[in-house]
Amino acid sequence: MEYIPMIVAFLLLLSLILGAVALFLKAIRSFKAKKFRRGVVSLLFSFIMGFVLVSLLLAAYGDMQLGQRAACSGHLKHIVLFLKIYANDHQETYPLTVDGLVGPELMRIGDASILVCPESHHKAGSLSNIHEWTDYAYVSGLTDGDPSDCVVAFCLPENHKGKAAVVGFIGGFVKWYPCIKPDKETTTFQELTNTPSLFYGTTDEVKLADLKKRTRIIYPNSARR
């Protein structure tokens, strides 16, 4: 039953394609027979059907991208959740790398897919070398007691065609940051990563110095980027 909408959509697109082609061929035959009025009408309707077809395809593509970005946000939320579960059992400290999330009580084979961005078209690898194939950068050295607005993991803009990046915070929430500044109020991903007070979620100089000293960003394997 779940495939019925997809089948109906496919048949609709197919009928539009065939209809547009048939009308276009009819228009050519009409022009050859010097039936210009009929040819113009057929050509006009073929263009209208073609326009409708292109509009539907663009809408479907847009919906697919939105779905992939929503899925990426969901993956990052799960990663932050796993980190919190880990910290609960390890004196509030997060693992040194995302490999530390692997364990009988945490990440298993079926969970490995959350470490791959849906929009990157990469595939999950072995749980024994997560750092080599994950799409998500990880901020190592943090604890669950650090500022809730502190960045703990993020998906790089290159996984989203360079347009934006999704960022996960210790507080458990995620946000999208554009790469091109749309207005004065909006913070870009580059501004977030280049401004310590924004990246670490605090303006306290002592806390900032401590956070910068004990943390490092572990980026995905360069071979995948």
Using 50, 70 and 90 to split pLDDT, how confident is the model at 75? confident
Using 50, 70 and 90 to split pLDDT, how confident is the model at 63? very low
Using 50, 70 and 90 to split pLDDT, how confident is the model at 119? confident
Q: What is the pTM of this model?
A: 0.67
Q: What is the mean pLDDT of the chain?
A: 78
Question: Greater confidence, 67 or 137?
Answer: 137
CA-wise closest residue to 119 among 188, 65, 52, 48: 65
Hey, what amino acid is at 200? Y
The answer to whether 159 touches 135, Cβ cutoff 8 Å, is: yes
pLDDT of residue 199: 95
**Domain coordinates of the chain in residue numbers?**
4-62, 66-224
Q: How many CB atoms lie within 10 A of CB 90?
A: 13
Question: Greater confidence, 183 or 1?
Answer: 183
Question: Greater confidence, 178 or 128?
Answer: 178
Give the sheet arrangement for strand 136-140, strand by strand: 174-178, 164-169, 151-155, 136-140, 216-218
pLDDT of residue 115: 81
Question: Greater confidence, 66 or 82?
Answer: 82
The answer to whether 95 touches 101, Cβ cutoff 8 Å, is: yes
pLDDT of residue 177: 92
Instruction: Report the pLDDT averaged over residues 47-52.
Output: 68
CA-wise closest residue to 202 among 167, 170, 155: 170
Q: What does the pLDDT look like over 200-210, one tens digit per residue?
A: 999 999 999 99
- Percent of the chain surpassing pLDDT 90: 27
Q: What does the pLDDT look like over 125-171, one tens digit per residue?
A: 666 666 667 888 999 999 999 999 999 999 988 888 888 899 999 99
Q: Is the pLDDT of residue 58 over 80?
A: no
Segment of 13-17, 123-127, 158-162, 170-174 carrying the highest mean pLDDT: 170-174
Concatenating the DSSP letter of every residue in the chain gives: -TTHHHHHHHHHHHHHHHHHHHHHHHHHHHHHTT-HHHHHHHHHHHHHHHHHHHHHHHHHHHHHHHHHHHHHHHHHHHHHHHHHHHHHTTTTBPPSSGGGGBSTTSB-GGGGGGGS-TTTT-----GGGGGGT-SEEEEET-BTTS-TTSEEEEE-GGGGTTSEEEEEETTS-EEEEESS--SSSPPPHHHHHH-HHHHTT---HHHHHHHHHH-EEEPPPGGG-
The answer to whether 136 touches 165, Cβ cutoff 8 Å, is: no
Q: Is the pLDDT of residue 43 over 90?
A: no
Q: Is the pLDDT of residue 1 over 50?
A: no
Question: Of 13-27, 103-117, 140-154, which gets the smallest average pLDDT?
Answer: 103-117
Hey, what amino acid is at 107? M
